[in-house]
Amino acid sequence: MSAAATAATTPAIGPFSAKNDEFTPFTTARHWIGGKWCDPATSRAVQDVLNPRYGKPLAQVRMGGADDVDLAAQAAARAARSWGEWPIRERAHVLYRLRELMVRNIDELAWLVSHENGKIFGEAKAEVEKGIECVEYGCSLPNLAAGNQLEVSRGVACEVAYAPLGVVAGVTPFNFPFMVPLWMLPQALVGGNAFILKPSERVPLSTLRLAEMLVEAGLPAGVFNMVQGGRDVVEAICDHPTIKAVGFVGSTKVAKLVYGRASTHGKRALCLGGAKNHLIVVPDADLELTAENVVASFTGCAGQRCMAASVLLAVGKVDHILDAVRARAAKITPGKDLGPVTTQAARDRITGYIDGAEKAGAKIVLDGRKADAVAGGYWVGPTIIDHCTPEMACAREEIFGPVISIVRVPNLDAAIEIENASPYGNASSVYTSSGDIARRVMERVEAGMCGVNIGVPVPREPFGFGGWNDSCFGHGNITGWDGYRFWTRQRKITSKWALQRDQTWMS
Ligand code: NAD
């Protein structure tokens, strides 16, 4: 049967109409189960989805619960059987079509991400582009996923085939509403699974359009499902016996909880957590490159990236570079170059860290606390806190805002020691023009994703994305080949077709 013939009925959400930052409402986020939009099985809370630029609801989300997860798991289980029997190449063809739809509608998707999350249009577009890159990786899987085969004994062959797990689920955070689901979906779907997504309740809108595009791309009903909600839905996903694997991306606190709960129920779990990323700047670093890059790293997406720079370890005499960082950051205009943070609570948390650092004796050399670009929005301007000690909260804890804490250290060893004392291990970068210094840092820092003269060292496809230590619970990376391995299981087939005369223990 052709893909189009088995696809779900095209639902009627339709495109998001915004073409600029002007406040634009969007449709209510409902569940997408078995190829249909539906409301929670039992009446539950309806929550506002706020546009953080204005602090105003642009939509609502109907929060689900365990009964909705059960309905989604049943629909997914029904769909998984036949989807898993499609040849991998045909499964990947759905992603080829999805890619075309994403490319064709890239501006619409980017505006939707920008309005639900608050990031500026250029950043939102980059997010959608990275989502497209992840889909392209999924398209390439038929060329990568051939298992090995070997004659292991005379007349006896062993082969490996990648089989789907069946029904799997993903839980995603607010900061990349469109891209993070696409860290998981391509490998899981091409691997032959049916998927249940639980998007962040703060940003459930762009994935509504993703669901529609998957239908248009020819994905059969029930292969992709979405259950809206929060903690109740996540716990039900962890507990549900039909769901065999859980991918999670969010804060360390919740990543740990989800990893523990899903594992207790015998599921595979890969749970990416929070971060506290360090940039090491040494005196021989290129002035322009470093200043531009450091600022882009800590202010991009309003500092709400798990790869954002959070601590600058200033090694020796680097004041000329710090001055250039400050001068550049001071030119950033909130509302134009910098979006708001996600909620009023986030704003309070971030400014609380700045207040705390000031009280503890650090120097606020650029202060974003008074930023107020658009009335009602949750604004924090670029903030630089100098002369921090490693013990200060701003230098130890994840702030998740456009703030960088500078800790001055006498030498490289001291910098590496501070970086490695952090329980997190997502990203770490060094700015230098010395290959030797770069190598020494790259060999010693406790971080899964490292950069040399790159402030946001995101491994592009096909390299896998994933941190170490408290930034990742579970084994491997979430994207790239590790992702495919996570969402599939290996079947080892040993076969013999004739009795062999020269018998071995295997004959
Ligand atoms: P969060 O942990 O609050 O929420 C993530 C998801 O978990 C959401 O879907 C939410 O509904 C759900 N959730 C929240 N509380 C829960 C609970 N008690 N039990 C079960 N589920 C729960 O994270 P967030 O605020 O949406 O996202 C920001 C965090 O995500 C930051 O810490 C950031 O560093 C991290 N992050 C990490 C990566 C990475 O790759 N390591 C990528 C993006 C974001």
Q: What is the DSSP string of 170-231?
A: EE--SSSTTHHHHHHHHHHHHTT-EEEEE--TTS-SHHHHHHHHHHHTTPBTTSEEE---SH
Residue nearest to atom 15 of ligand 1 (CA): 231
Q: What is the pLDDT of residues 87-135, one digit of tens each?
A: 999 999 999 999 999 999 999 999 999 999 999 999 999 999 999 999 9
- Other beta carbons within 10 angstroms of residue 14's beta carbon come to 10
The residues annotated with a catalytic role in the active site are: 306
> Which of these CATH numbers, 3.30.470.20, 2.40.50.140, 2.90.10.10, 3.40.605.10, describes 15-273+471-491?
3.40.605.10
What pLDDT is recorded for position 154? 85
Instruction: CATH 3.40.605.10 in the chain: give the residue spans.
Output: 15-273+471-491
For atom 11 of ligand 1, the residue with the nearest CA is 230
| Cα-to-centroid distance, 172 and ligand 1 (Å) | 7
Q: Ligand 1: does its nearest atom lie under 6 Å from the Cβ of 139?
A: no
| pLDDT bucket at 501, cuts 50 / 70 / 90 | low
* The amino acid at 148: N
Mutate-to-test residue for ligand 1 from 306, 398, 403, highest number of ligand atoms within 8 A of CB:
306
Exposed/middle/buried for residue 89 (C-beta within 10 Å: 0-12, 13-18, 19+): exposed
Q: What percent of the chain has pLDDT over 70?
A: 96
Which CATH homologous superfamily contains domain 277-452? Answer: Aldehyde Dehydrogenase; Chain A, domain 2 (3.40.309.10)
Ligand 1 center–CA 174 separation, angstroms? 7
pTM as predicted: 0.96
Strand 363-366 to strand 383-386: parallel, antiparallel, or no bridges (unpaired)?
A: antiparallel
- Report pLDDT digits (tens) over 216-248: 999 999 999 999 999 999 999 999 999 999 999
Strand pairing class (224-226; 194-198): parallel
Q: What is the pLDDT of residue 4?
A: 38
Q: How far apart are CA 51 and CA 49, in angstroms?
A: 7
Distance CA 218, CA 91 (A): 9
- For the chain, residues classed under CATH 3.40.309.10 are 277-452
**With a 6 A CB cut-off, is 448 part of the ligand 1 pocket?**
no
